[in-house]
Structure 1
């Protein structure tokens, strides 16, 4: 294939991709119209993580990754 044939193939693929994306956007707009106040399904929302430090008591029986248990020396 020549360079021009390659460019034409890329152009056709890009046009097809653009059409598919537009179809998906239209379909998504029909399924959930803007301004609808439907609740977010469980497990689908954003989860906020507090800035406060974790309770150090949670980590008393854990191993340091790659180093082994806290009361033993690493190899």
Structure 2
């Protein structure tokens, strides 16, 4: 899995945890222990947000820079003085 996929998975699980904590809080009430669980889950969510912001961006890291190659033919002067043409072989028709 890529880093971004891992972060997305953790975020999804964290969202599930926060929903479960809310449902549990409705059943148990606002006891000291429940407030502590709520605070821990909230702090975990804040830490995850900071981690997502500081993680390297995958697109910039994995995608190489695009190089455009023109469709126009190259200037023949660029090949002046070359003895072999690629694909055509030696001008003397024998292997080196």
TM-score tier by shorter-chain length is 0.3 to 0.5
In terms of fraction of residues, the more strand-rich structure is 1
TM-score by length of 1: 0.38
User: Bigger radius of gyration, 1 or 2?
Assistant: 2
Q: Which structure has more RCO (C-alpha within 8 Å, separation ≥ 6)?
A: 2
In terms of fraction of residues, the more helix-rich structure is 2
